């Protein structure tokens, strides 16, 4: 059979990892697809930049349109990033009848609905396994492996950079900025690293996972989003003392009222496997009604790990080249006419447990005032610890509370009431807590 000809857009961290795998595992890949894969052309920004891989047998161009318009290219692999220029290139490739593979979660989260519709009309595949959780085949697991189930909820550590930073801060006491710089140097971080630390990248990925899990269209703008920038070593240490690790978690759950879709720092009991996922590793816990809880673990960023997912998509697409375009695995797991429009709940309507850190005046009756307010808002306390004042000259003591589950709006109202008390000496720190056991 004739080789399948592909063109790449981008030869950075992921592009280089992808080419390296294609060069190293040529025989295994051809054995799996039944056809050779030939890289015809790669577009880069600077053709003279030294490359970490052997490009002698590959033609490079500074014109990305030369790739998407090339008459001999069957599959375009988009690894440039961003969601404006990349979108234009992907739409052009689809219009030209080419299959597309991308690692670009920003593109899929923001424009996936439009891209998939166009792809369906053209009878081409858009594959995006590498867009979520680097090398972990979570899209395939949700779309195919768990296809028998109603998915109840999923929870994932889905930003490698944030997890790397939290782990290094906790285990080695390193400074935030210093660890972020290392993550950038290792190629883990996004071109704009605020996407990693402010939760945007995790929100992109959660929007994609939510659609595939629950059969809803992509709604990135509805993801409730918080990053790791406000997490202090103090809270990490108190959480540890109570038996929890703090992780940046993406969480999606289908409820009677609608879908919860949120990313934020979360306390997780340390006996859960997912609480012990450290460094750049990612993990996603998926609860299906038939299978129960399942866990997927692996490298969440980096050239070769992500390249592994890109090449797996390539193999899938090559295998489907001869299949009936109307009978392929649907982009969002459900057939386009079976996607439903469930409401996404605002953050105020979600239900979760909480860690609270209060700075209180050290005098009789203060704890009673706090518990009274919590009681008025139907918030039940699971654990309380009071810390000794850090020095004898301060009138403040630190109180840590863990609560049972409550609707976030009630918690917010209780915090406003507590902060009005003269005995509450600083803003109340609130971090969500998930037991992830049901
Ligand atoms: P890099 O910045 O390392 O690479 C980007 C590549 O695109 C470079 O080769 C660059 O060329 C090329 N490029 C950029 N703009 C243009 C342009 N206008 N014309 C032609 N070429 C261009 O990014 P990554 O490899 O890290 O990321 C690529 C995509 O993969 C992003 O969508 C990212 O979110 C996603 N991703 C990244 C992961 C990671 O671990 N890094 C993991 C999972 C997904 P040049 O080399 O000449 O500068
Ligand atoms: N910047 C992303 C991360 C890359 O750190 O997880 C992988 O998607």
244 touches ligand 2 (CB under 6 Å): no
Tens digit of pLDDT for each residue in 133-181? 999 999 999 999 999 999 999 999 999 999 999 999 889 989 899 999 9
Tens digit of pLDDT for each residue in 114-124? 999 999 999 99
Tens digit of pLDDT for each residue in 1-53? 889 999 999 999 999 999 999 999 999 999 999 899 999 999 999 999 999 99
Q: Is 95 exposed, middle or buried (0-12, 13-18, 19+ CB in 10 A)?
A: middle
Side-chain-facing half-sphere of 427: CA atoms under 13 Å:
5
For residue 51, the surrounding DSSP H or E stretch is: none
Are 48 and 15 in contact by the 8 Å Cβ rule? The answer is no
| Closest CA relative to residue 73, chosen from 9, 20, 131 | 9
Tens digit of pLDDT for each residue in 298-311? 999 999 999 999 99
| 133/305 Cα distance (integer angstroms) | 10
Angle at 217 between CA 138 and CA 350, to 5 degrees: 80
Residue 214 CA to ligand 2 center (angstroms) comes to 23
Residue 323, pLDDT above cutoff 80: no
Count of positions (residues) in the chain: 438
List active site positions: 205
Instruction: Give me the torsion for CA of 177, 179, 184, 185, rounded to 10°.
Output: 120
Q: Which pTM was predicted? A: 0.94
Atom of ligand 2 nearest to the CA of 132: 8
Which pLDDT score, from 0 to 100, does residue 352 have?
98
Nearest bound ligand to CA 78?
1
Atom of ligand 1 nearest to the CA of 188: 40
Domains and their CATH numbers in the chain? 4-135+303-338 (3.40.50.720), 138-299 (3.30.360.10), 350-433 (3.30.70.260)
What is the rounded average pLDDT for all residues in the chain?
95
| Closest CA relative to residue 76, chosen from 58, 57, 95 | 95
Residue 390, pLDDT above cutoff 70: no
Residue 85 CA to ligand 1 center (angstroms) comes to 12
């Amino acid at each position: 059979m004739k080789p399948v000809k592909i063109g790449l857009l981008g030869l950075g961290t992921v592009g280089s990892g992808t080419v390296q795998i294609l060069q190293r595992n040529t025989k295994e890949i051809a054995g799996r697809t039944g056809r050779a894969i030939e890289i015809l052309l790669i577009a880069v920004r600077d053709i003279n930049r030294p490359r970490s891989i052997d490009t002698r047998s590959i033609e490079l161009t500074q014109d990305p349109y030369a790739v998407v318009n090339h008459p001999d290219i069957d599959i375009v692999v988009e690894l440039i990033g961003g969601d404006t220029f990349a979108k234009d290139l992907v739409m052009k490739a689809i219009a030209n009848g080419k299959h597309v593979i991308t690692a670009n979660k920003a593109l899929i989260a923001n424009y996936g609905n439009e891209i998939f519709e166009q792809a369906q009309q053209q009878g081409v595949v858009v594959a995006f396994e590498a867009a979520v959780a680097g090398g972990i085949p979570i899209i395939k697991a949700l779309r195919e492996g768990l296809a028998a189930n109603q998915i109840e909820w999923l929870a994932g550590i889905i930003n490698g950079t944030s997890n790397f930073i939290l782990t290094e801060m906790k285990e080695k006491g390193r400074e935030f900025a210093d660890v972020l710089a290392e993550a950038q140097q290792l190629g883990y971080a996004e071109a704009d690293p605020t996407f990693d630390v402010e939760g945007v990248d995790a929100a992109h990925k959660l929007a994609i996972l939510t659609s595939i899990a629950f059969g809803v269209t992509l709604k990135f703008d509805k993801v409730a989003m918080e990053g790791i920038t406000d997490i202090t070593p103090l809270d990490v240490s108190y959480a540890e003392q109570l038996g929890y690790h703090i992780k940046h978690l993406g969480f999606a759950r289908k409820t009677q009222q609608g879908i919860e879709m949120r990313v934020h720092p979360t306390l997780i009991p340390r006996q859960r496997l997912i609480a012990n996922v450290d460094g750049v590793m990612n993990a996603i816990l998926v609860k299906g009604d038939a299978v129960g809880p399942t866990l997927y673990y692996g490298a969440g960023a980096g050239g070769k790990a992500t390249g592994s997912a890109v090449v797996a998509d390539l193999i899938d697409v090559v295998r489907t080249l001869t299949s009936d375009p109307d009978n392929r695995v649907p982009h969002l797991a459900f057939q386009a006419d079976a996607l439903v429009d469930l409401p996404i709940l605002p953050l105020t309507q979600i239900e979760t447990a909480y860690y609270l850190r209060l700075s209180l005046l050290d005098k009789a009756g203060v704890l009673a005032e706090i518990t009274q307010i919590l009681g008025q808002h139907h918030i039940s306390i699971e654990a309380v610890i009071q810390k000794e004042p850090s020095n004898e000259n301060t009138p403040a003591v630190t109180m840590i509370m863990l609560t049972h589950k409550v609707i976030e709006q009630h918690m917010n109202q209780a915090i406003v009431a507590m902060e009005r008390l003269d005995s509450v000496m600083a803003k109340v720190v609130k971090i969500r807590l998930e037991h992830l056991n049901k």
